[in-house]
Amino acid sequence: MSELTSQPPSQDVLDIDSLNASIKRLSEKLSAIQDAVKNMTQSRAQLEGKIEDAQKRVQRILSRLPEQNDGRQLNLLGEAIPPTNLEDDSEPTTH
């Protein structure tokens, strides 16, 4: 028959206390990791939203580009540009 070797009861208590302390440390680390993952997920969602908005703005700007053979002034920002009429800017001539 094999002999059962048993540690003294005080050693068992130390092992349990050590194990409990390790479990507590691991639980705290796990909680910190879970919080970090949650924050990163929220940040990623915000960044994805910003990227989508930027892509929409870029697409809107690209859709406003004139054809290559169009010589008009580009208005990429959508601001109102008053039409320029050269006749209005010049002095009337008398010939």
Task: Indicate the domain borders of the chain.
Answer: 10-66
pLDDT value of position 89: 53
Residue 1 has pLDDT above 50, yes or no: no
CA angle 55, 57, 60 (to 5 degrees): 110
Q: What is the pLDDT of residues 65-79, one digit of tens each?
A: 877 666 666 566 666
Length reported for the chain: 95
Say which DSSP state 15 is in.
Answer: H
Q: Which helix (H) or strand (E) holds 79?
A: none
Rounded to two decimals, the pTM is 0.49
Q: What is the pLDDT of residues 10-68, one digit of tens each?
A: 677 779 999 999 999 999 999 999 999 999 999 999 999 999 999 999 999 988 887 76
